[in-house]
Amino acid sequence: MIRKIVACCLVSFSCYTAMAQQQDFKIKGFHLDLRIQVMKLPALKQFALQLSRHGINTLVMEWEASYPYQQHAVIANQYAYTREQVKEFIRYCDSLHLDVIPLQQSFGHVEYILRHARYKALREDQKDYSQVNPIREEACKALFADLYKDLMSTHHSKYFHIGGDETYLLGHSPESKAKADKLGKGRLYGDYIKMLCELVVSMHKIPVVWADIALKYPDALQGLPKQTVFVDWNYGWDLNRFGDHEKLMQSGFEIWGAPAIRSGPDNFFLTDWQKHFNNIRDFIPQARQLGYTGIIMTSWSTSGIYSPVFETASGVNDLVAVRRVYPISGFDMTIAAYLQSINSISPLQTDYFVNDYTKNQFGFSTAQSAAFWNALKRAPYEVSQGKVVGANISLAALLDSARATAAILHTLKPIRNSGNFQHFPLMADIRVCYLSCLLAESAMNDSSYTVAQAKGLLQELNALPMAELDNRFTTLNSALLYPEEIITENKLRKEKWNSLKAKLNADVRRNGN
């Protein structure tokens, strides 16, 4: 499933200079997000092996509901590993000298916990289950003490990641708002995070926290245990995006950096390759210059925002990820770029890297490599409410661009590693089909639309090769994901196509065709 990343794509460890060693990160990590795409255990172990072979010494595991909690078993979902599988994976990572840090979200991004009635008293909002109420400190402390102890019983890293990012509901409930109005949102956030960090320290571990909210509210740093590590996640923006970066630098806390190979606006229908390569090229050297002691590559399978499916006015039947991203199997190239970057003090030269990568992996000529890279970079724009975001072009023009990309990728014939290459044309074809659906939807939303047009639009949608895409996706990802997951991924990817067809079929019937 994941290609063995060839040594010729990387700078040999023997080439380190004394300067490189002085500037080297002590933590060279990779973040695995198992929130909606749970990897089969053999694939998980193989992935860990390849990372360890190329300098990665740390895995941050965001197990979420794939972890088999004991006292809180209701949290675990249908794809949860067994406890023996988790222990087996940790033992395997030990043999690779790979430290596995568990990540237990403990403030925001806890829908998978708060969706259950057992924890309803901890919700900041009874409709939005994304965040705990920080005022209910004792009850939250009891819950997370249980979860921390459980994870620590299977993991033995000295670090423990408590999450803490994107707490959008700060001050939302009346009781939280009262404290925020009196003391400020920084204290509201900081007091709760302080409690969690002290809990981790009392368990003889070092707390790790995402840095965005502490950057926004620097008073949240006050009183935190000095062992606390902050992870400054930066996916291609100014250091001060979340707040005064200098205050974090002056705080005395250890800081790690975190770029991304999958992040917004990526979804199943769009990957902004240039953005992620620029992020690797720019932020890793910057993190070194800032004196960050670690670097963790994040890889998000979803935004972490969920849409609830209500069965009653107050009862949630399911939570659906708002954004899903193509599985990690399709991102071998950016992973290789990251590995090269952390093993060299020189910034990544993207064009040279892509040329070398495609030559070594697929046997491409220089001209083929250039065609491949130019195709991937073409028009990486998202669409919102029927309009192209970030460019003054029409939806039809964007679809034409996507078709051109797909056509180029289909003309390229790798002489080796064909299976790994096939992710690229598949992702391009998925984008073409999606944009075709959006164009049909745009026509239906036009003020001139009548049911007489439905038959033609329906024929266009029926001509899209959805079954073929399903089969290709299944073939390429069967070693990575469970069969039921693949069925779900294929189903959700076609939601708009199916809903548009249902509407158009009804219009055709009304028109008497």
Note whether 338 and 375 are same-domain residues: no
What is the pLDDT averaged over residues 179-205? 97
Residues forming beta bridges with residue 161, ordered by sequence position: 103, 208
Average pLDDT of the chain? 94
Provide the pLDDT for residue 248.
Answer: 96
Note whether 304 and 379 are same-domain residues: no
pLDDT of 281 strictly over 50: yes
Distances (CA, A) of 316 to 114, 115, 127, 140: 11, 7, 9, 21
Q: In the listed set 312, 342, 372, which residue is the last one of a domain according to the structure?
A: 342
Provide the pLDDT for residue 151.
Answer: 98
The whole-model pTM stands at 0.93
Inter-residue contact 58 to 30 (CB < 8 Å): yes
The tokens 């200079």 sit on which residue?
Answer: 17
Distances (CA, A) of 190 to 104, 217, 362: 18, 8, 50
Amino acid at 32: L
Give domain status of residue 8, yes or no.
no
For residue 481, how far is the Cα from the chain centroid? 16
Note whether 60 and 187 are same-domain residues: yes
pLDDT of 137 strictly over 70: yes
Inter-residue contact 191 to 138 (CB < 8 Å): no
Give tens-digit pLDDT for 437-476: 999 999 999 999 999 999 999 999 999 999 999 999 999 9
Give domain status of residue 347, yes or no.
no
Provide the pLDDT for residue 20.
Answer: 46
Share of the chain above pLDDT 70, in %: 96
Radius of gyration of the chain (CA): 24
Note whether 471 and 404 are same-domain residues: yes
Note whether 256 and 382 are same-domain residues: no
Give tens-digit pLDDT for 44-101: 999 999 999 999 999 999 999 999 999 999 999 999 999 999 999 999 999 999 999 9
Note whether 371 and 330 are same-domain residues: no
Give tens-digit pLDDT for 9-60: 333 333 333 344 446 899 999 999 999 999 999 999 999 999 999 999 999 9
Give domain status of residue 136, yes or no.
yes
Give domain status of residue 205, yes or no.
yes
Provide the pLDDT for residue 436.
Answer: 98
pLDDT of 477 strictly over 90: yes
**CATH code for the domain of 27:** 3.20.20.80
Give domain status of residue 9, yes or no.
no
Task: Return the structure tokens found at 426.
Answer: 């598949």
Specify the length of the chain in residues.
513
Provide the pLDDT for residue 23.
Answer: 62
Note whether 334 and 404 are same-domain residues: no
Provide the pLDDT for residue 389.
Answer: 95
What is the pLDDT averaged over residues 205-217? 97
Note whether 330 and 370 are same-domain residues: no
Provide the pLDDT for residue 195.
Answer: 98
Coil vs helix vs strand at 295: strand
Give domain status of residue 214, yes or no.
yes
Note whether 306 and 401 are same-domain residues: no
Provide the pLDDT for residue 22.
Answer: 47
Q: In the listed set 311, 342, 373, which residue is the last one of a domain according to the structure?
A: 342
Provide the pLDDT for residue 273.
Answer: 97
Task: Return the structure tokens found at 230.
Answer: 């902050």
Residue 208 dihedral angles phi and psi, to the nearest 5°: -120, 135
Provide the pLDDT for residue 50.
Answer: 96
Residue 382 has, within 13 A of its CA and on its CB side, a CA count of 11
Give the domain extent around 389: 364-510
Note whether 37 and 79 are same-domain residues: yes
Provide the pLDDT for residue 214.
Answer: 96
Note whether 335 and 450 are same-domain residues: no
503: enclosing H helix or E strand: helix 495-510
Q: In the listed set 342, 372, 394, which residue is the last one of a domain according to the structure?
A: 342
Give domain status of residue 11, yes or no.
no
Give the span between the Cα atoms of 507 and 47, in whole angstroms: 49
Q: How many domains does the chain have?
A: 2
Note whether 152 and 232 are same-domain residues: yes
Give tens-digit pLDDT for 382-436: 999 999 999 999 999 999 999 999 999 999 999 999 999 999 999 999 999 999 9
Inter-residue contact 321 to 262 (CB < 8 Å): no
Give the span between the Cα atoms of 176 and 192, in whole angstroms: 11
3-state secondary structure 296-331: EEEECCECCCEEEEECCCCCEEEEEECCECCCHHHC
Give domain status of residue 354, yes or no.
no
Cβ burial of 370 (10 Å; 0-12, 13-18, 19+) is middle
What is the pLDDT averaged over residues 290-314? 90
